C-alpha cells in the first residue's frame, strides 16, 4: 500500500516537474510548450467582470478552467488538451474561455465558495448571470473535453 502511494506521488511530482520546465508528458509524447505559438483554446485576458459582460454581449457561456498552480492534471490539460486544434476550434467558437487560478486570482475564493469547488481541475460552464449551467471534474482528454463542451452548449438556453 505504501509503495503504491509513493509511486503515485512520484508520478505526480514528475508531471509537475516536467510541466514547470515547459516540457509536458502527454501520455503519447513529450512536447515543448511555447506560449507564443500556442494553438488551441484562446483564453480571455480581461477581468472576471469583463468576461461576464462579454458573455452577455456575445450570448455565449463562459468556459472556466478552475485550476491551482500546484495541480499536475491541471498543468497537463494546459499543455496537452487545451492546445489541441479541435478543442481550440470548438471552444473558441462557442465559449468565452477563462483560466483562473482559484487560489491566487482576486475572484477565485469567492467563486470557489459560490460554485462549491471541491477539486482541481474543475471545468465550469457559466452564464452571464454567473450561474453554473454545467460542470465537469478532473482531467479530460481532447475528445472527451469536446463532448463536455457539446453537452454544456446544449444546455445554454435551458
Annotated active-site residue 12? The verdict is no
Set 51, 66, 74, 100: catalytic member: 74
Instruction: State the number of CA atoms in the 13 A half-sphere of 112 facing the CB.
Output: 17
d(CA 106, CA 53): 18
User: Choosing from 71, 96, 102, 128, which is the catalytic residue?
Assistant: 71
Please say if 74 is a catalytic residue: yes
Specify the DSSP element, H or E, that contains 1: none
Question: Which residues are the active-site residues?
Answer: 71, 74
Amino acid at each position: 500500500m505504501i509503495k503504491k502511494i509513493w509511486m503515485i506521488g512520484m508520478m505526480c511530482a514528475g508531471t509537475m516537474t516536467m510541466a514547470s520546465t515547459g516540457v509536458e508528458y502527454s501520455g503519447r509524447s513529450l512536447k515543448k510548450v511555447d506560449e507564443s505559438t500556442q494553438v488551441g483554446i484562446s483564453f480571455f485576458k480581461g477581468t472576471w467582470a469583463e468576461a461576464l459582460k462579454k458573455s452577455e454581449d456575445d450570448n455565449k457561456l463562459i468556459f472556466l478552467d478552475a485550476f491551482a498552480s500546484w495541480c499536475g492534471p491541471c498543468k497537463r490539460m494546459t499543455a496537452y488538451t487545451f492546445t489541441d486544434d479541435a478543442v481550440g476550434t470548438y471552444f473558441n467558437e462557442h465559449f468565452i474561455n477563462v483560466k483562473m487560478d482559484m487560489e491566487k486570482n482576486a475572484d477565485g475564493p469567492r467563486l470557489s465558495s459560490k460554485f462549491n469547488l471541491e477539486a482541481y481541475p474543475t471545468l465550469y460552464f457559466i452564464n452571464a448571470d454567473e450561474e453554473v449551467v454545467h460542470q465537469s471534474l478532473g482531467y479530460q482528454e481532447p475528445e472527451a473535453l469536446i463532448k463536455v463542451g457539446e453537452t454544456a452548449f446544449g444546455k445554454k438556453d435551458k
